Amino acid sequence: MKQIVILGSTGSIGRQALQVVDQFAGEIRPVALAAGRNRDLLLQQVLKYKPQLVSLSSEEDARWLRDKITGIKGIDIHFGREGLMAAASLPGADTVLTAISGAVGLEPTVAAIISGKNIALANKETLVAAGRLVTKLAREHGVKILPVDSEHSAVWQCLNGEDPSALARILLTASGGPFRNTDAALMAGITPAMALNHPNWQMGPKITVDSATLMNKGLEVIEARWLFDVPYDNINVVIHPQSIIHSMVEFIDGSVMAQMGVPDMKLPIKYALFYPKRQAGDVTRLKWPICDLTFEEPDLGRFPSLALAYQAGRTGGTMPAVMNAANEIAVAAFLENKVGFTSIPRIVEEVMSKHNPVSYNSIEEVLAMDSWSRTTAIESLTRFLL
C-alpha cells in the first residue's frame, strides 16, 4: 500500500487529495497530516484516517487536538515548523504531497527530498523561490518531483514518452480569471469578494486572488522553467476561458499535443499520487461534442503581475523569491481590505526595484531574501493603504 504525507490537509488541494484516498482506500493511506489553523476539520480527518503523525501551526491547537483524541493511541502530535519537518521526513512514507500555500512550503519540501520521498508538488512557491536548488537536490537524492498543478500535470502528460530535445515550447493555459473582460478603469474598484469568485475553479483565497491578477500564471511560468528545463522564451501563456485544455506542448516538427479534461483538481492529484499508473475511480468526463474552445493573448497592461513574474524569472538569482514574498504580503493586505486590487502588482514592483539580486547556494540564503522582501513590502504598504 502506498503511504503518503499531506502537508496542507485542510486546504483545497488537501481535501481533494483525501477524496482520492477515499476512492482507493485499499491502495493508498495518509500516514501524516499537517494543517494550519483549521483544527476542527483536522480533528475530523484524524478521527477518520488515524495517521501516525499530525501537525498544526500553534502549540495551543496541538494541545487542544491531543485532548480531543486521548482515546486513540499511536498518533504523534506536533506543531509549527518542527511539525512540518517531522511530517515531511516521516520514515516509511513514499510520497509527500506539498499542498501548503506560500513560501512556508519550501523547507519541508527540501526535508522530504533529503529523506528520499517523492514530491507531489502543489506548492508552486517552492520552485519559484528556489527552483535551481530544489531540482538539484531532487536529482542528487534520486527522487521524483510529480507536478500536481493542472497545467504542469498536462505538460508532464504530453511529454511522457517523448524525446525532451524535440520540445519546442510550452503553452500554459489560463482561464483569465473573473476580470478577463473588465475595463481597466474599473479594476481599482475590485473587492476581495469579487476577486474570490473564480469562474471555473474552487481554490484557496491566496491562489484565487493570484489567478485574478494572473500572478498565479506567472508563478507557473517560473515553475515550468524548472520542472521541464525550458527557457522562458519558450514558455507562453494563452488565455483559454473554458479551462478544458489544461496546457499544450509544441514540438519541433510543428505538432501540438494538448491534455484535456474537466476542470477538476482530483484528476492531476490522482495522476501524481499513482504515477505511472492511471486509475479510473469516480470521474467526471467531458461531454462531447465540445464547442467554442477559444484562445486569447494575455493583456499585460491590465494584468502587469504576469509581466513582473517573467521579469523576475529572467533576472534569476534571488529575484523570484523576492517577488513571490512581496506578492504574498500584498495579497494578504488586499484580502484584509487594506490595499486595492491594482495596488498588488505596484507593491510587488516597488519591492523588486529595491532588490539587487544575487546567486544563492542554500535554503538559508533564499529564506533571508524572503524575509527581507516581506519587511520591505510591509513598509511599502503604507503608501497604498485605502
Q: What DSSP line would sit under 208-240, residue for residue?
A: HHHHHHTHHHHHHHHHHHHHHT--GGGEEEEE-
Mean pLDDT of 1-14: 96
* Domains of the chain by start residue, with CATH: 2-147 (3.40.50.720), 181-213+302-386 (1.10.1740.10)
- Say what the pLDDT of residue 202 is: 72
pLDDT at residue 254 above 90? Answer: yes
Task: Note the pLDDT of residue 333.
Answer: 98
d(CA 338, CA 232): 34
User: Grid coordinates in use for 334?
Assistant: 488586499
The pLDDT of residue 199 is 79
Our CA angle for 177, 178, 179, nearest 5°, is 95
Among 52-66, 78-92, 271-285, the range scoring the smallest mean pLDDT is 271-285
* b/e sequence 138-163, b meaning 16+ C-beta within 10 Å: beeeebebbbbbbbbbbbbbbbeeee
Give the span between the Cα atoms of 276 and 278, in whole angstroms. Answer: 7
What mean pLDDT is predicted for residues 106-117? 97
Q: Band of the pLDDT at 102, cuts 50, 70, 90?
A: confident
% of the chain residues with pLDDT over 90? 90
101-105, 166-170, 172-176, 233-237, range with the lowest pLDDT:
101-105
Question: Do 3 and 94 touch, CB atoms closer than 8 A?
Answer: yes
User: Whose CA is closest to 221, among 349, 359, 324?
Assistant: 324
Cα separation values, 131 from 128, 140, 235, Å: 6, 14, 16
Q: What is the pLDDT of residues 43-82, one digit of tens each?
A: 999 999 999 999 999 999 999 999 999 888 889 999 999 9
CB 57 within 8 A of CB 34: no
Cβ atoms of 54 and 78 within 8 Å: the answer is: yes
| pLDDT category of residue 300 using cuts at 50, 70 and 90 | very high
pLDDT tens profile 305-328: 999 999 999 999 999 999 999 999
